[in-house]
Structure 1
């Protein structure tokens, strides 16, 4: 059989992007899970039918997909969770999502052709306040990795010796390990660990953990946890392909990951492409998100797209930078990236037909550029409305999609503009809450 046109790195990155589809919709948890499962049926074989979409048989992928992505089967999930807000009300969005796909033969550049499983984890959902507050921004407290129990953990002061991860990362891993594949999904009524323990793969089988953004921190952490827990002993090769991730932990944790997962398995040949290395966090150097949480990198984010001449915008961006540095510093740790590879980003003056000012003249300009650098620059954008195509840093162009999109009853699609406005609201809210907390602390100190 002819190899697909996308190499193994690109296939895995593309599958991480498919997990992110859950973040493009509003609906109930059940509806959102059905929508993600239906979306995956366009790309994979053996996706269980979604009755709400009048499917009656397991899927076969669209003919456009196999020449690009190869022959993949859905084997677990998808599973996702809709959290509740501070008032106990459902969020109406997918706050975390996960699925597993399998292929009988993946040709690894510089290595052999192997049967392979991919564990694909969803990125931050821009519409999820829970993701932002509880997972992404929760870095002021840390958790000792040596005693970490995903189902029951408590942050503790940094002791200066053991590996530590952020409270947000620890929370995210606990959520992922608690997800159960639904009754109508693949490998129903099982957790990821239960599913993996039920497998009896060939000894040379590979398993790859991948994810973008939030999942760029969760995927290496989950792989390390399962590796140390001996849940991956049946696999001959374990690899991780994280992208655009914030830093999950401090130096000792990064060292532990790096020692456990070297960039190449023994005997494999290094490749020349910037994106072509395993067990390495790949990040666009103009992407704000992977600048979190090392202090030296956070000090760059306010002026990453040039210093704004608008005083209000400059104030907001410098406040964002200060808040991020303050929160990371409270942990007492020096946040340190796992082994990583930067990719050369390019500032964009247009987002489709929408002009984007450089330097940013407004918070809207900044967040629009952020969105372009954090999403579009990795996977590309087709030409439209006399605007030239953007070739991505990993995928030159996005994977084909069903057009027009078909929605599960009760599900609505979230537009890019809605996502951008939501990100702006989250940033303003985070800055405001931080300064309000500081003000209250000063009032209490003066009162005493």
Structure 2
């Protein structure tokens, strides 16, 4: 069976969650996760004959964290070696620091810069991203593949520079991720586009000086990264053919912190799941952030994937988890092929639709 690029990218994004509950050093966690990535790449039908691990994984955690907060890896197409996919993991379900800093630190913004150059301005307004996205993107830029995994001793950018120098054909790079990984992938994709073929970018951030590589982004279930000026600037470099946002219409995450859709969040799951006081607090925060910070999705005109309510998830946040995680394989034609429980075993404890199912073995 031939799988679409969207199906392959979603599978790569879900595979990135394996090993999220490991504790230990960044180096040890990466070394433990690497063989699991290889195993799952070979087992999942959409990736089995298509992609192999060539860099990473690399992981990073805040100094006060028990679990790692960010993880990324790079795969290469088996038949077309000039094709690479950069994959970012989403929010670590068990890392509270990840939620607090990178997901919810949105009331402060940071200017978006191209290397050491002045702040990018679009429409006479400075382009800015949330502080949480800024922290995440700066962390993943610095992550280095440790000894014992492919690409050891290099950052993602250094690895891509080597690939650009050694391949006969121009690189075709796809950047992807789910949830926080989607927010980071669209932002990192813009960074790659900016630092390709630009002579005014610092040398350490130049990876494709001749600007031959193509950049595509497939972002699943991502929240906004920055304000409207940032979104407009991103759109000017990554048009709708190069940046694809794939969002479930019933997923609250892509609605946040977007000023155009945040008002829909409160009643999104009626009549199956009614909002409560916690929902009202969350929606109020999202509304304030959208008003005060002018957050806007890139390629905002792209249509949603039309979701369906789960009849068994009767509580608001149960429905939210279902729509954010379980629904995407179904919406993209991977029901019965890509099992979310394999990569999110925590679902069994929080969703009634999984109460009678056993997760496939995943050693976290």
Range 171-180 or range 65-74, more displaced? 65-74
Task: Check the 8 A contact 1:212/1:243 in 2, yes or no.
Answer: yes
Match of 2:3 in 1: 6
What do residues 176-230 of structure 1 show as CA deviations (whole Å, max 9, x unaligned)? 0111101000010111111111122233431100011011111111111122122
Counterpart in the other structure of 1:408: none
Q: Residue deviations 1:71-110, cap 9 Å, x none?
A: 322111001113233xxxxx3322100000001436xxxx
Aligned partner of residue 303 in structure 1, secondary structure:
coil
Between stretches 67-76 and 187-196, larger displacement belongs to 67-76
Q: Retained in 2: the 8 A contact 1:169–1:248?
A: yes
1:128 aligns with 2:102: no
Q: Does residue 1:195 correspond to 2:159, yes or no?
A: yes
Unpaired runs of 5+ residues, structure 1, are: 45-60, 86-90, 107-113, 265-277, 351-355, 358-364, 380-390, 406-412, 421-448
| Distance of 2:102 and 2:127 partners within structure 1 | 19
The residue aligned with 2:75 is 101
2:261 alignment partner, SS class: helix
Q: Which runs of 5+ in 2 are unaligned?
A: 197-206, 352-364
How many pairs are equivalent?
334
Answer yes or no: is 1:293 the counterpart of 2:257: yes
Against the structure 1 CA distance between its residues 401 and 171, is the aligned structure 2 distance closer, same or farther, given a 3 Å change threshold? closer
Q: Is the 8 A contact 2:114 2:191 kept in 1?
A: no
Match of 1:206 among 172, 193, 199: 172
Equivalent in the alignment of 1:220: 186
Q: How does 1:217-256 map to 2 (within 5 A)?
A: 217-230=183-196, 231-232=207-208, 233=210, 235-256=212-233
Tell me how far 1:398 sits from its aligned partner. 4.0
Partner of 2:23: 27
Counterpart-to-counterpart distance in 1, 2:282 and 2:72 = 30
Partner of 1:324: 286
- Structure 1 residues 197, 100: closer, same or farther in 2, change over 3 A? same
1:13-412 equivalences in 2 (<5 Å): 13-23=10-20, 25-29=21-25, 30-44=27-41, 61-62=42-43, 65=44, 69-85=48-64, 91-105=65-79, 115-146=82-113, 161-199=125-163, 200-230=166-196, 231-232=207-208, 233=210, 235-264=212-241, 278-306=242-270, 314-331=276-293, 334-339=294-299, 340-350=302-312, 356-357=313-314, 365-379=315-329, 391-393=330-332, 395-399=334-338
> Are 2:74 and 2:84, in contact at CA under 8 Å, matched by a contact in 1?
yes
CA gap 1:394/1:21 in 2 versus in 1, 3 angstroms: farther
**Aligned to 2:304, what secondary structure does the other structure show?**
strand
Per-residue deviation, residues 349-404 of structure 1 (Å, max 9, x unmatched) = 23xxxxx22xxxxxxx212111110011101xxxxxxxxxxx3335334437999x
Higher Cα Rg: structure 1 or 2?
1
CA contact (8 A) 2:88 2:177 kept: yes
**Whole-angstrom CA distance in 2 between matches of 1:76 and 1:129:** 27
Match of 1:270 in 2: none
Q: Tell me, what secondary structure is at the counterpart of 1:170? A: helix
Residue 188 and residue 128 in structure 1: after superposition, are their counterparts in 2 closer, same or farther (change >3 A)?
A: same
What SS does the corresponding residue of 2:58 show, helix, strand or coil? strand
1:8: how far off? Answer: 2.0
Q: Please tell me the root mean square deviation across aligned C-alpha atoms, in Å.
A: 3.1
1:137 Cα deviation after fit: 0.9
Tell me whether 393-402 or 94-103 shows the greater mean CA deviation.
393-402
The answer to whether 1:416 aligns with 2:357 is no
Are 1:118 and 1:209, in contact at CA under 8 Å, matched by a contact in 2? yes
Q: Structure 1 307/299 Cα, relative in aligned 2: closer, same or farther at 3 Å?
A: farther
- Spell out, residue by residue over 1:143-167, the C-alpha distance to the aligned partner (whole angstroms, 9 max, x if none): 12136669xx9x9xx9961211111
